[in-house]
Structure 1
């Protein structure tokens, strides 16, 4: 047993004072779909509904034991803040949590609930970089320990306890572990532990298409800071992989990193909610979503696969957006700008082109002053993408000028 795996075993034992091991469940639905064993490591069932509690707890445990500090600082608007808050209350330590001013009240309230009187929340900065800078300045000024969400050896060690539990729970070695990637702390910990204790286990990484910091860095051979990040997958949308995580992950191939589109993740979230009753945040769906890519590539057959479900902190106020994005990705909802002739019967002519399963979800005149034509924003929902293809052909054949703006990000931002 290496020093690292021994330290992880110690951390895992200490964690039992905080919560029991999260379940590792054979998922019959996914196993039947892909024709192999699919196990889910349910990190959405920790007390704070994500694995982030593990790293925060371990880093704080070691700092307190060393007598270095009992005051901890972090910058986070999500799972890391909640994990640190929960651990602060457990240890009776002081926590100062910096959050952007734009953080939703629901996340602020949950962090306060988990931390109680042990934590103070400071709202500062419109953007996370501003919040991070303020938190690090505060930590230095007050001789407090800045607790990174992923760029810390003790945090990585804590996240690796996920792998220790998997080995205890799984009936035999895993052939493949699918890991969600944000800053890289979880992946660095799990690959480090299983690489030593289960060398036959392979790894696949999943990071959102709008935040491919690991894949881009592996392709370049050095850490890359992305110019732009899509924040939809807020638990994994990181512009730069952590220094320590990248040092431990740089030996992997960029081909091992899959990058599912954000809108497709929405389909997976809805599928797990409707079929399994499992509530996932976008980052929590990453490892499950890429199973379809692995299956299509023939990389699942005959394998025992473990997907780490990284989080379930989903605000149901986002559900309409998730449904909308899922429908658009699946091709069963589209938006058009229709140039409608200003004559009696023109609207009726259009309506008669709709099929029995086509439903108008949006209808809005955009230009009411035109003498001969009027522009209409129209949204159509249906049951099969082929129905919208058929509708488009009917419109073209009938001379209706129509433009599909479903995937036009600029127009969609202003009109949809």
Structure 2
């Protein structure tokens, strides 16, 4: 790997003509919380608010004869490619799903300017990817993978090069988010066995764990795209070749709802804006617990492209995970005073956030959809105990994703 390490250092040096290194910051809040020296490698502070421009830069730098670069992405990779197309004066054609939020389209357009063309095609990413690859076959454009490309992997390794220079040593423990594997493959290839690793994936897109289980990259049956920066249906062939020996014991999967608590914590306590994938490494610290006590730990915060229109969803998911908000369907007797009886069961910290009632004259009971917020999770034990004692029939649907999609 000596040649790889030197190439990664060369790439890092070349990047300084385009953008400065991202900060490595000791975080006092997390350090005190986990009794460790916790540093954040702030890739969310790059010019495009993610590390993706590194791989795009290195791939374009090493392919000066390519006239047209093509990618398929609805997020950070698109923005990194757009930024670098403008820098190198290259034409870029960026394929995005029709369902891509307007904010992401506008940011990609802003970074690329006249150097890029955005094509919206396909309702799902697989359709978008197929269109991009078909365009390359017809036009001779160069398809730039977001992770499964040796030059991209080498470019992402620049995060490790900078971290070593800034810290002055290798950390005891490095926490890395994993999507397609470009960042983790690059950093692991550069650092080797100098430190302990934890590779973190969202529960709804754990493609590395699936590949480790199978011994090869496999396609996930379903992917939860909430943490879209790391929710990948299949890890790359080239990246897995570098990650195949990391071992399941060094991987973690994080529930998306729990991840929301960390997004809010970093926003409210530290004023740091992170996208879901960017918060994965920090969220993992609570699982590492005593194992990192007294050690130097670096968490790579991979991105900060957070659309604040998603904030209500993030807050709701965090409340549900913490047990502070629940939805349930109540069978309410159609008699005078029944609603008053129910309201009398609520405690001083219980707040009705949702109430929908349809009275049907031909029935003795009506169905009520109720959302309750509270300050203590134990308040729901008190409420449900009172409902049981009062003879009310109810169904908690908070964790029923299918039903919640239709009624919440």
Taking structure 1 as the reference length, the TM-score comes to 0.97
Shift of 1:366: 4.3
Partner residue, 2:106: 109
Partner residue, 2:246: 252
Assess if the C-alpha contact under 8 Å between 1:294 and 1:300 holds in 2. yes
Are positions 1:150 and 2:147 aligned together? yes
For 2:363 and 2:253, how far apart are their aligned partners in 1? 48
Are positions 1:200 and 2:194 aligned together? yes
What pairs with 1:45-124 in structure 2 (closer than 5 Å)? 45-64=45-64, 67=65, 69-124=66-121
Assess if the C-alpha contact under 8 Å between 1:336 and 1:402 holds in 2. yes
**RMSD between superposed Cα atoms in Å:** 1.0
Partner residue, 1:275: 269
Question: Equivalent residue of 1:362, what SS?
Answer: strand
With over 3 angstroms needed to count, the CA separation of the structure-2 counterparts of 1:113 and 1:256, relative to structure 1, is: same
Are positions 1:320 and 2:317 aligned together? no
Shift of 1:368: 3.3
For 1:404 and 1:369, how far apart are their aligned partners in 2? 25
Partner residue, 2:347: 355
Unaligned runs of 5+ in 2: none
For 2:361 and 2:240, how far apart are their aligned partners in 1? 58
Partner residue, 2:281: 287
Partner residue, 2:203: 209
With over 3 angstroms needed to count, the CA separation of the structure-2 counterparts of 1:309 and 1:370, relative to structure 1, is: farther
For 2:360 and 2:172, how far apart are their aligned partners in 1? 62
Partner residue, 1:408: 400
Assess if the C-alpha contact under 8 Å between 1:367 and 1:376 holds in 2. no
For 1:279 and 1:164, how far apart are their aligned partners in 2? 24
For 2:267 and 2:113, how far apart are their aligned partners in 1? 30
For 1:220 and 1:276, how far apart are their aligned partners in 2? 40
Cα deviation digits, residues 90-120 of structure 1 (max 9, x gap): 0111000001111111111100000000000
Question: Equivalent residue of 1:63, what SS?
Answer: coil
Assess if the C-alpha contact under 8 Å between 2:218 and 2:234 holds in 1. yes
With over 3 angstroms needed to count, the CA separation of the structure-2 counterparts of 1:367 and 1:212, relative to structure 1, is: farther
For 1:323 and 1:75, how far apart are their aligned partners in 2? 30
For 1:129 and 1:382, how far apart are their aligned partners in 2? 41
Assess if the C-alpha contact under 8 Å between 2:334 and 2:359 holds in 1. no
Shift of 1:142: 1.4
Partner residue, 1:385: 377
**Residue correspondences, number:** 408
Question: Equivalent residue of 1:259, what SS?
Answer: strand
